[in-house]
Amino acid sequence: MSRFSTPLALRPAVDVVVPTTAMVLAAGLGKRMRPLTATRPKPLVEVAGRSLLDRALDHLTAAGVARAVVNVHYFAEQVEAHLASRDGPEVVISDERGALLETGGGVTKALPLIDCDPFYVINSDNLWVDGSIDTLKLLAQRWDDGTMDALLLLVPLARASGYEGRGDFYMNPMGRLRRRVEHRVAPYVFSGVQVLSKRLFEGEPIEAFSLNRLYDKALANGRLFGAVHGGMWFHVGTPASVGETEVILADS
């Protein structure tokens, strides 16, 4: 049994053992965030005085994650220079300057640098505030290696600030997920924060592809699960959303 498999009822969140390494996705072009991303990568866009990338890394440090593998492509030198100024966590660069590999390909390329299983994967362009339980510890607490290949942090559609879609997933009482039916509304939005098993990547080539391909693989095997976020979450996808997020954060 995995050391991350202890049932929720038997282990309080404050004592949970978290994966030691996270993959932080920071290579995207951030086209919808222009003109803010005309001269810098989206992860270095600041919200309320702190960059999106720093906010993600701060969460990792608070949860006790020791290492972050960060992929770079767009304005890669800026990301590397910014990371060099941080004290923690330990950062290892996965270089995608030669070709942008999207989310799935980016993680696949970085797997040799990821020294634990399961591991976190975090989109650096999302922003969340913990609820009563540290969000990353919540995911580690909910992980069950015997039944899961992927555990996604979900946000109720009604609380997904800045999100304008129809939701992503339905979830049964056991936490097992299925995708939104076309032309329907689903109650949960994927936050961009997750725990994944390396076995999900077996046989995958290093090429440009979305993690959605692997979610579908896990879903087909009944091994795609979700956990509901109890705090605040923001979809920071456009320049206007930066100001809107700052107003909500200030009011809260």
CATH of the domain at 197: 3.90.550.10
Whether 140 shows a pLDDT value over 80: the answer reads: yes
pLDDT of 174: 94
Evaluate whether residue 8 is within a structural domain. Answer: no
- For range 53-67, the mean pLDDT: 96
pLDDT of 105: 97
- For range 120-138, the mean pLDDT: 93
Task: Tell me the range of 3-7, 13-17, 205-209 where mean pLDDT is highest.
Answer: 205-209
pLDDT of 6: 36
Question: Looking up tokens 């995995």, which residue turns up?
Answer: 2
Evaluate whether residue 2 is within a structural domain. Answer: no
Range of the domain at 99: 18-251
pLDDT of 8: 34
pLDDT of 104: 97
pLDDT of 12: 41
- For range 29-49, the mean pLDDT: 92
- Place 2 in a pLDDT band, splitting at 50, 70 and 90: very low
Q: Provide the 3-class DSSP secondary structure of residue 178.
A: strand
192: left (phi over 0), alpha (psi -120 to 50) or beta: left
Structure token digits, residue 27: 């290579």
Whether 45 shows a pLDDT value over 80: the answer reads: yes
Evaluate whether residue 180 is within a structural domain. Answer: yes
pLDDT of 32: 86
Q: Provide the 3-class DSSP secondary structure of residue 35.
A: coil
Helix/strand number for the chain, H first, E second: 6, 14
Give the bridge partners for 177, in sequence order: 171
Evaluate whether residue 96 is within a structural domain. Answer: yes
Question: Looking up tokens 């505030």, which residue turns up?
Answer: 129
Q: How many folded domains does the chain comprise?
A: 1
Evaluate whether residue 66 is within a structural domain. Answer: yes
* Contact status, residue 70 vs residue 92, Cβ threshold 8 Å: yes
Evaluate whether residue 1 is within a structural domain. Answer: no
Whether 9 shows a pLDDT value over 60: the answer reads: no
- For range 170-191, the mean pLDDT: 95
Helix (H) or strand (E) holding 153: strand 150-156
Evaluate whether residue 22 is within a structural domain. Answer: yes
pLDDT of 219: 97
| First and final C-alpha spacing in the chain | 41
* Contact status, residue 162 vs residue 241, Cβ threshold 8 Å: yes
User: Mean pLDDT, the chain, as a whole number?
Assistant: 91
> At residue 81, what is the residue type?
A
* Alpha-carbon distances of 98 from 27, 71, 95, 210, rounded to whole Å: 12, 12, 8, 18
- pTM score, whole prediction: 0.91
Evaluate whether residue 195 is within a structural domain. Answer: yes
52-63 helix and 135-142 helix, angle to the nearest 10 degrees: 60
Whether 42 shows a pLDDT value over 60: the answer reads: yes
* Alpha-carbon distances of 29 from 22, 42, 162, rounded to whole Å: 21, 7, 20
- Place 5 in a pLDDT band, splitting at 50, 70 and 90: very low
- For range 230-239, the mean pLDDT: 92
Task: Supply angle C-alpha 200, 202, 205, rounded to 5.
Answer: 110
